[in-house]
Structure 1
Amino acid sequence: MEYWCLILAASPAAMLILPAGDGEGPVFPQECLSHQQVLSTVRQMQKLLSAQEAAHLQGMRSLKKQLSVLHSPVSICPSADTCPQLAVPLNGRKLGRSARVGHDVHFICNAGFRLVGSESRTCRRDRTWSGTQPFCRSIDECASNPCANGGTCVDGNQSYTCLCPRGWSGASCQTPIHPRRASPDVDECQLFQPNPQTRICLHDCLNLPGSYRCLCPPGYVLHADRNTCEDVDECAGSQHNCTHGELCINTFGGHRCVRPKCPPPRHNTSYVKTSSFQCERNPCPTDSRACRLAATSISFHYLPLQANRTVPRVLFKMSTTRFVGDSLRFAIIGGRGQGVFAVRRSDRQTGELVLSSPVVGPATLEVELEMSEFSRKVLLGKHIFKVTAFVSQYEF
């Protein structure tokens, strides 16, 4: 009968099978096995190799998953890092679906209504929303005919103004004016308005017989106090001229129509719009270093400013909701009007954009900020903030 001897090497992947000889005894001192025993041993080795191969593949999948987490955008959070869903205001709309930490939701009202409350709300790290829940209020404040004695009602932002006829005054034209005899009328505008310490109107003054009226520039209405001006929110109703696909940004004394766009594909890098004001980078090819060095996300921010604001003034804050590395760096990398801005750190995870010089309006300023995250001086990812500031002509 023929026998075979099985010699195992140090590695289970290497083995040698030799014939036992010509019947004069085995050529090796090892114990010889029968043919069936050899086949059984080979099958066991095959199972061992298959198990090692499966473990190797599982390890590669786990490593790829960890690499994907490191290259994910800073704004992406685990599913548990979310805020409660916000309600859509009656007669209005909600822009933005994400309720994850660090994401914004924006609200607008239908034509004929104005927004009361927070125009934008941000999901904070403590899983609560910033601001207050807004609602849409009818624009027509004059529907109840509040002006008496033939006064003309002018609708305003959550208020109204009565233009009184000759002989009447007061918030609702309810007080009769009795002209004084044998004495000239006093021009209050000429007497008080030129002096900043005694001026009676925030903007301009119109003299009337026995009285005066404060006037406001276009884009503003007279406040209920009868001497200050408040901004009209054109974006809350149908008072803007933005076309379909454009977003209306209310400014002091007016509005702007914007259309945030993601950058075009370049060097194997492309972006997708994830909300009205944010773009996120698509997954990079494994061999594209240029894509891995590009920003993982780009967000757009629009800030209305009044002219000649006191400085320094914090305009904008930037932070990461999930800090993976050991350091963050903040920098201004471009834009127009950079000389009036500065960047400083407020804590370990937060940077601030600061207005460092007063600005005379009207003006449009742009600044591009970069927040980079490092681990042992190796770049893990970066986020770009494109900030546009619309400076009003007036100081109110």
Structure 2
Amino acid sequence: MKMELLSRMKAAGVVTLMMMMISLHQIYSSSAQECPPTHDLLNSLRQVEKMLAVHETSYQQGLRSLKKKISALHNSTMAVFKIASCPKPDPPAHGRRLGRVFGIGHEVHFLCKSGYELIGPRTRVCLESLKWSGQQPMCRRLNSTANSLPSFSPASPSSSTSSSSSFPASAALSASSSATSLSHQSPTSSSPSSSVRPSHCTHFLGSTRCTCDVGFTISGRDNNICTDIDECHLFPLGQPGRLCVHQCVNTPGSFHCICPSGYDLTRDGRGCTDIDECENRMHNCTADQLCVNTYGGFQCVTVECPRMKNATYIKTSSMRCERNPCMLGDKACTQAPNSISFHFLSVVSNMSAPRILFRVSAARVLGDTLRFGLAGDRGRGHFSVQRSGRQTGTLLLVTPIKGPATLEAEVEMSELEHNTLLGRYLTKVTLFVSPYEF
């Protein structure tokens, strides 16, 4: 409309200019052989000037009128849009609202903060009645004992608790804030009524649109059924992209992860971290025993000095025994180890190999030669000793070990002078292998 009016105004200006040009041409052509009088030229120019002024005034008035009409049209359009919209919905406490357009047919969505679950519809639609569909949702803290609204509460969980006693309460946390509390539900199944529920349908302008809550897929002949998605089945353990490190439990609309005894669930709700029972004083070891933390548990060990026929040992520290001086000429005593050290290591199951486990070093060397090797037959299929420095030997794990298992290795360091034995030093290493790979 604006462009059309401007075109007309421009056309009128062009016509006026053409008329003035014709008038001037007539003045000039009336006296072809002689110059026109000066006063005639001045009169013609004054007439052109007046016509241009009138044209400019008319153009400005038309432009102002056009601006007023456009402004009125804009205001009337905005008034229509303002009237045909629903009131701005408030976000739930401890949650937020998604969506900024509140016109008829538009949707808004609701989410809860971490640690809260949504009670009520996740999506509301602005209806032709300028009211929002459904009820105003609310966010409820997880593990709350308060009763939820009966129209939105899930069916009561299964009464089976066969496997819940084998897991700590802190490990049975949900990996999704949308999952309901299942502290008393069996981790292997959910009730059928919780896995299948009706869809949320909205009727607008003769059409029907049905949606499901997060974690459900729509099905049925008329899209009127929402069926739970089994996330644990879609991402099984041991496969890339698995949801849980240990055990995945499907729940209506979500899932949660469970850790074995001796582990806590990590912050992301999917991994498992070992509990140090020794540091947290959660063990039952006696005063004369040593508590060794393992992955998923602990071990109470007793360090005792060996008893040999011709050699006696005394415990010089909690992890070391030293031989008493030998009688002169007692060859059997001098062949016994000068000292015996004890070390305990904890590893996970199926740990990759080869891998360095332990290093043995000599603080000082009296002889001209140091030798390192495995003493006895213990652990020869799983361990090896290599020289890693002038005074250092390294204990290696050469094959993976599937737990649970307990293995022992004895690393011997011999000191010689001109091939004559000066002393033997024994390090006993005990390896506790966890039944889990984490």
TM norm structure 2: 0.50
SS at match of 1:301: strand
> Letter of the aligned partner of 2:427 in structure 1?
F
- In structure 2, the partner of 1:200 is 243
> Letter of the aligned partner of 2:228 in structure 1?
D
Larger radius of gyration: 2
- In structure 1, the partner of 2:422 is 380
Counterpart among 279, 286, 299 of residue 256 in structure 1:
299
CA offsets 1:183-230 (integer angstroms, 9 cap, x no match): 222111111125611211111101112111111111111111211111
- In structure 1, the partner of 2:289 is 246
SS at match of 2:431: strand
Counterparts in 2 of 1:362-381, with a 5 A limit? 362-381=404-423
- Cα pair 2:407 2:431 within 8 Å, conserved: yes
- Cα pair 2:237 2:245 within 8 Å, conserved: no
Cα root mean square deviation, aligned: 3.1
SS at match of 1:291: helix
CA offsets 1:247-273 (integer angstroms, 9 cap, x no match): 110111111110011012521x21110
Distance 1:349 1:276 in 2: 25
Counterpart among 390, 403, 406 of residue 348 in structure 1:
390
1:315 Cα deviation after fit: 0.5
- In structure 2, the partner of 1:59 is none
1:161 Cα deviation after fit: 6.3
1:178 Cα deviation after fit: 5.9
CA offsets 1:87-127 (integer angstroms, 9 cap, x no match): xxxxxxxxxxxxxxxxxxxxxxxxxxxxxxxxxxxxxxxxx
- In structure 2, the partner of 1:291 is 333
Distance 1:258 1:195 in 2: 34
With over 3 angstroms needed to count, the CA separation of the structure-2 counterparts of 1:214 and 1:208, relative to structure 1, is same
1:293 Cα deviation after fit: 2.0
CA offsets 1:347-392 (integer angstroms, 9 cap, x no match): 1111011001111111111111210011111111110111110111
SS at match of 1:183: strand
With over 3 angstroms needed to count, the CA separation of the structure-2 counterparts of 1:370 and 1:240, relative to structure 1, is same
1:167 Cα deviation after fit: 7.8
With over 3 angstroms needed to count, the CA separation of the structure-2 counterparts of 1:324 and 1:166, relative to structure 1, is closer
- In structure 2, the partner of 1:327 is 369
Counterpart among 194, 212, 218 of residue 261 in structure 2:
218
- Structure holding more helix per residue: 2
1:281 Cα deviation after fit: 1.1
- Cα pair 1:335 1:366 within 8 Å, conserved: no
- In structure 2, the partner of 1:92 is none
- In structure 2, the partner of 1:209 is 252
- In structure 2, the partner of 1:300 is 342
Distance 2:342 2:293 in 1: 15
> Letter of the aligned partner of 1:305 in structure 2?
V
**Larger RCO, structures 1/2 (Cα 8 Å, 6+ apart):** 1
Distance 1:348 1:165 in 2: 52
- Cα pair 2:175 2:268 within 8 Å, conserved: no
Distance 1:250 1:362 in 2: 14
- Structure holding more strand per residue: 1
With over 3 angstroms needed to count, the CA separation of the structure-2 counterparts of 1:162 and 1:216, relative to structure 1, is closer
SS at match of 2:227: coil
- Cα pair 1:311 1:358 within 8 Å, conserved: yes
CA offsets 1:46-98 (integer angstroms, 9 cap, x no match): xxxxxxxxxxxxxxxxxxxxxxxxxxxxxxxxxxxxxxxxxxxxxxxxxxxxx
1:284 Cα deviation after fit: 1.9
Distance 2:176 2:340 in 1: 58
1:286 Cα deviation after fit: 2.4
Counterparts in 2 of 1:33-72, with a 5 A limit? none
Percentage of matched positions with identical amino acids? 47
Distance 1:366 1:165 in 2: 39
- Cα pair 1:307 1:393 within 8 Å, conserved: yes
Would you say how many aligned residue pairs link Structure 1 and Structure 2? Answer: 241
- Cα pair 1:201 1:214 within 8 Å, conserved: yes
Distance 1:238 1:256 in 2: 13
Distance 1:209 1:150 in 2: 15
- Cα pair 2:179 2:251 within 8 Å, conserved: no
SS at match of 1:283: coil
- Cα pair 1:338 1:366 within 8 Å, conserved: no
- In structure 1, the partner of 2:167 is none
**Are 2:432 and 1:390 aligned?**
yes
TM norm structure 1: 0.56
Distance 2:293 2:258 in 1: 21
- Cα pair 2:173 2:269 within 8 Å, conserved: no
- Cα pair 1:307 1:392 within 8 Å, conserved: yes
- Cα pair 2:231 2:254 within 8 Å, conserved: yes
With over 3 angstroms needed to count, the CA separation of the structure-2 counterparts of 1:200 and 1:150, relative to structure 1, is closer
Distance 1:191 1:304 in 2: 34
- Cα pair 1:222 1:229 within 8 Å, conserved: yes
Deviates more, 1:289-298 or 1:329-338: 329-338
- In structure 2, the partner of 1:149 is 141
SS at match of 1:339: coil
- Cα pair 1:219 1:231 within 8 Å, conserved: yes
Alignment gaps of 5+ in structure 1? 1-145, 153-159, 171-176
Alignment gaps of 5+ in structure 2? 1-114, 117-139, 145-169, 181-211, 217-223
